[in-house]
Structure 1
Amino acid sequence: MSWWQIFGGRGARAKVVKPAGDHIENFRAKAPVDIRQIGKIAELPVWIDVSPEVPTSTTYDGLLWEIEPMGEYLYYLAGDFPKNEKGLLRYGSANTIAEVYVSFEDDVVSVDRSEMRRWSEVALQEATESSDFIDMTVEEITTFAQQRSQEAGYARHLAMLVFKDLQGGIGYMEQADDFLPRPWVRLLWSKYTETSQGSRITKVIVRSSNPDQQFGPMHDLFKTLIDRYQSIQDYPLSGAIRM
């Protein structure tokens, strides 16, 4: 057992925060912020870019709106987020997002490990690979997945990742199905690690609901983020919240 665990070092665990009231009252209680773009990648504004070699101090609190925090510590965030009146980035209203975070929440880690294992195994059984869609748009991929599912009589909307090295993690590609028919595509990768702060997942997500978004750049960015963040250093983190 490390000194961090011995001396009460569960700082990575999120603080449970009760909203001020309904969503209107909660919004009024938020302080205005001035969040500025720090760069661009694949035509996406970059908002957060922390090296995997240093601890991050960035959480969803005071940064994102339209999503409930679940104890995430952000290392990377890019996306075409509109801002609300307080200056917060509207997570649910973005068309295309690339995100890297870690979480130490026991339930989050447990559910993520179970779900990622389940769906990556299903994706392995499909006859499609993520590289099959490189030259397609999000809309074209969605049409393909829906037609394929209709012909089969059941949902067939997953694809296997074709990267030679998943860096010790697991992942898959997910496409829209008939239950949510609007165009969208999502790439997911997750890695489980035991750290001095307890069990941790590192999560990389690249998704888009822009029908005209080319999949190739998404695929390239996803692989770049996996390679960069596959081994985030074990530092004490604190300050995350969950609601």
Structure 2
Amino acid sequence: MPGWIKRLLRGPSSKAKLVELPSDARANLAAHSQVNLQPKSIMEVPVALPVWFNFPAHHSKPATYDGVFWEIEPWGEYLYYLAGAFQKNEKGLLRFGTAPLEIRAERNFETDAIRARLQDGDRAHMEVRSSEPWKGMTVYDACDLLLPEAQASGNENWIGAFESVPSDVREGRSRLIFGLHSQTGEPFVEVIYERYYPISADCREPFLFEVKTQCRLPDVAVDDVVKLHEEVAVKYRDVPPTRVSGAIKM
């Protein structure tokens, strides 16, 4: 069967639209329309945390990076959940990576993005340690204890598990990463949940769903970060193959 007939039978695609912008970032920002992003709610524990988006797993019109973030090139992401005290630029856009504690739940249909992230995840899970020496420790103290051990083994980060989960990404897998921020040198902990949904009778477009929680606040307890992450991740353990549209990639 010709490819165009197959595409017609599948219906509209959830894949991102390729967009090319001039390389002058200042000119691009100047041309961007003003936005007025307001948090939907504020979480108080472990710190005050604005919640910008909180869509259910079946939602058909999630947000996209375009019109939300600046200082990051979109790669086809659909945002279902976003929390964090991000700095804003003069256009009202959130400056990506500026929140000292952030949570993102996002879905991606891009073949190249999925491949890259699954490869990263596979490599990371080969290094996962089953012990939990970080229990009861702050982010700073856990990094101070664990990073010398990782570096002695030739690794940049310490990667561990925090629950008994399958290693098969098609069932959903989680990991915990301790490291130092590449630009600021701040100690951080990142908790990642990822699940890959391959093509099946119910799912005509393969996709990857991820929940990422990163904390660079040194005095916050790692247990609190994990608890916060799990409260969000549990909402997205089983994501239906809802059609979505509107994402872009650059």
Normalising by structure 2, we get a TM-score of 0.85
Q: Number of paired residues? A: 236
Structure 1: how far apart are the matches of 2:124 and 2:72?
Answer: 23
Partner of 2:171: 168
Name stretches of at least 5 consecutive residues in structure 2 with no aligned partner: none
SS of the residue aligned with 1:163? Answer: coil
Q: Kindly indicate whether the alpha-carbon contact (under 8 Å) linking 2:13 and 2:243 is maintained by their aligned counterparts in 1.
A: yes
User: Which stretch of structure 1 is more off in the superposition, 85-94 or 156-165?
Assistant: 156-165
Q: Kindly indicate whether the alpha-carbon contact (under 8 Å) linking 2:162 and 2:175 is maintained by their aligned counterparts in 1.
A: no
SS of the residue aligned with 2:220? Answer: coil
Q: Kindly indicate whether the alpha-carbon contact (under 8 Å) linking 1:104 and 1:197 is maintained by their aligned counterparts in 2.
A: no
* Residue-by-residue CA offset, 1:52-93 (whole Å, 9 max, x unaligned): 132233100000112111000011000110111100011121
**Is the aligned partner of 1:193 residue 2:197?**
yes
Counterpart code for 1:145: L
Using the aligned pairs only, state the percent identity: 28
**Is the aligned partner of 1:45 residue 2:50?**
yes
Q: Which structure carries more helix by proportion?
A: 1
Name stretches of at least 5 consecutive residues in structure 1 with no aligned partner: none
* Residue-by-residue CA offset, 1:83-118 (whole Å, 9 max, x unaligned): 111000111211111010000000111111221122
Partner of 2:214: 207
**Is the aligned partner of 1:89 residue 2:94?**
yes
Structure 1: how far apart are the matches of 2:64 and 2:73?
Answer: 12
Q: State the Cα RMSD in Å.
A: 2.4
**1:24 paired residue among 23, 26, 42:** 26
Q: Kindly indicate whether the alpha-carbon contact (under 8 Å) linking 1:100 and 1:205 is maintained by their aligned counterparts in 2.
A: yes
Distance 1:47 1:134, change over 3 A: farther
Partner of 2:147: 146
**Is the aligned partner of 1:137 residue 2:133?**
no
Q: Kindly indicate whether the alpha-carbon contact (under 8 Å) linking 1:10 and 1:197 is maintained by their aligned counterparts in 2.
A: no
Structure 1: how far apart are the matches of 2:89 and 2:179?
Answer: 27
Distance 1:210 1:20, change over 3 A: same
Q: Kindly indicate whether the alpha-carbon contact (under 8 Å) linking 1:82 and 1:90 is maintained by their aligned counterparts in 2.
A: yes
Partner of 2:229: 222
Structure 2: how far apart are the matches of 1:174 and 1:211?
Answer: 15
Counterpart code for 2:73: E
* Residue-by-residue CA offset, 1:208-232 (whole Å, 9 max, x unaligned): 1222232222101222222210111
- How far has the Cα of 1:30 moved from its partner? 0.9
Structure 2: how far apart are the matches of 1:115 and 1:221?
Answer: 24
- How far has the Cα of 1:5 moved from its partner? 5.1
Partner of 2:246: 239
Partner of 1:59: 64
- How far has the Cα of 1:153 moved from its partner? 5.0
SS of the residue aligned with 1:93? Answer: coil
**Is the aligned partner of 1:114 residue 2:119?**
yes
Structure 1: how far apart are the matches of 2:171 and 2:153?
Answer: 34
- How far has the Cα of 1:28 moved from its partner? 0.7
- How far has the Cα of 1:197 moved from its partner? 4.5
